[in-house]
Chain A
Amino acid sequence: MIELLHDQLTFRFPEVHEKAFCHIEFQRTLRIPDDNQPYPLPPGLGQFPLSHVDDYADRLPASWRKHGGVFIPMYQSEALWINFSGDYHSGYPFAIKVAAGKINAVSGQPWSNELDPDSQDYVVIPGQPWLDGFNVTEDYIRQFIAMPLGEGFTAEEQITGEGEYGGLQIIVYPMKYEEYIERFEKPALDSPPLEEDLLLMDMPAFCRKSEGPPVEMGLAPGGLMRQKIVEDEFGLDVWDQENGLRCFIHLANSEQYRAITGHRPPHTPPSAKQYTDAGLPWFDYYDDQPALAGSVALGKLTSLAAMTIQKGKSLLGDNQPVEPKIIKQVRRGKTVRDGDF
């Protein structure tokens, strides 16, 4: 089952193992400059508020009711990152597929529920503590940026030619019971789970350590960021694909979010320049795990700023290059990608 509590989704698999649960939340962040220079990891500026689609069903388009799930408010050209965490003690592993507009954010392929047996199209936690964007090349992603559907900016529209779905889609598979017992609960293990892995799973929500319908939003590829997609160290067979749970996360235009829910959306985040000029830290995450190659399809995407120029529109605002002065190193299990601002 999937629960929503304190703006966090908890995916729980009691039928597999009592420790088989993980949390996913969506972090507000600044939009890194989209100038083809690679940037370090931006901070977390707090969670996006999450609401059940069913709680506002009469004010939402039929397609949202059909998809079910939850929704979050986003401003146009606002960025987000996805934070994965789990149980401090168990470190129960999960394979998680993430898509934007039903385009897989790791492989660039159209959505399917199953894990691709030929080429890893998912992230593995606890090894992958967060995902900030589309896997465009080895060690680099392009930041997730909200844009209205229908203007051609989103990854979905660039790849399929249509803006049909928007939003984010997630499916979570736990490790099979017997595989978990064998690896993590067997007495006198030769190699017990790394303390560091476990610490990483306990990251607080708000920081990074180590019809009259609402305008539907999708995610476009933004600036380039150093972030690897960690290779699956366990292999495809350990994942319990009989027991997946999936969730559709709709992106509501912030202005209309207020009309739907009566609540104010969070303030717009600071620009990268404001944040950097204030002397606040950026982050670099280090681990020595092998990285997945980038997706060819995603690598061909045109970034938001480049497409804005192509379309002859006025230049993307707040896109001046910045030079992060303070870059905190985040190591597996060590601190800190703190997002106070």
Chain B
Amino acid sequence: MTFGDYIRERREALKVADRRYSVRQVAQRIGVEPAYLSKIERNEVAPPSEAKIRALAEELGEDADVLLAMAGKVSSDLQEIIRKRPKLFAELIRELKSMPDHAILRIAREVRDGEW
């Protein structure tokens, strides 16, 4: 499923229960022309900027990182993290590629130390 298809499907699903999710109103709320959002949904233009994708994610109750990935983008904060240690993160991500979710979660679930 393309980025455009997914956005359209999610928006239409929300519109069934709430008419505020029309193309026109959603476009207004995220600050783009309705015609532009319509073209995005029909895959006639490339996905919008990171800022607009984040606004769409917020609007539709979706995960911004997932929408960015569907749009072929990596969020700017992740890019910044990778740029600082490109070799380490490239190796790490390649190694994690085939690991099951539970194994990755285990790596990610570090107990956080706070301020005390």
User: Which residues of A does B touch, CB under 8 Å?
Assistant: 1-5, 9, 52-54, 65-70, 102, 165, 169, 245-248
Contacts and interface: CB of A to CB of B under 8 A. Distances in A.
B112 interface: yes
Nearest to A167: B116
Interface in B39-82: none
A248 B109 contact: no
A68 B113 contact: yes
A5 B103 CA distance: 12
Contacts of A165: 116
Task: Tell me what chain A mostly uses at the interface: helix, strand, loop, or mixed.
Answer: strand
Nearest to A63: B116
A52 B111 contact: yes
B115 A67 contact: yes
Interface in B91-116: 106, 109-116
B113 A247 contact: yes
B106 to A, nearest CB: 7
Contacts of A68: 111-116
A234 B110 CA distance: 30
A9 B113 CA distance: 13
B116 A66 contact: yes
Given A52-B112, A246-B113, 13 more contacts: A2-B111, A3-B111, A4-B111, A52-B111, A67-B114, A67-B116, A68-B114, A69-B113, A70-B111, A165-B116, A247-B113, A248-B114, A248-B116
B114 A65 contact: yes
A5 B106 contact: yes
Contact of B112 (A5, A9, A69, A169): A69
Which 7 A-B pairs rank lowest in CB-CB distance, beginning with the nearest? Answer: A68-B114, A2-B111, A68-B112, A67-B116, A67-B114, A1-B110, A68-B113
A12 to B, nearest CB: 10
Contacts of B111: 2-4, 9, 52, 68-70, 247
A70 to B, nearest CB: 6
Interface of B: 106, 109-116
Contacts of A53: 112
A157 B113 CA distance: 24
13 contacts: A1-B110, A2-B110, A2-B111, A3-B110, A3-B111, A4-B111, A52-B109, A66-B115, A67-B115, A68-B114, A69-B112, A69-B113, A102-B116
A1 B70 CA distance: 32
B46 to A, nearest CB: 37
Nearest to A52: B111
Nearest to A54: B112
Contacts of A245: 113
Nearest to A102: B116
A75 to B, nearest CB: 24
B114 A69 contact: yes
B89 to A, nearest CB: 16
B107 to A, nearest CB: 8
A67 B115 CA distance: 5
Nearest to A68: B114
A169 B114 CA distance: 12
A247 B114 CA distance: 8
Contacts of A9: 111
Contacts of B113: 2, 68-69, 245-248
Contacts of A3: 106, 109-111
A5 B109 CA distance: 9
A1 B106 CA distance: 12
A54 B110 CA distance: 10
A169 B112 CA distance: 13
A246 B113 CA distance: 7
The CB with the most chain A CB atoms within 10 A, among B109, B111, B112, is that of B111
A81 B82 CA distance: 43
Contacts of B109: 3-4, 52
B109 to A, nearest CB: 7
A2 B108 CA distance: 11
A309 B106 CA distance: 48
A165 to B, nearest CB: 7
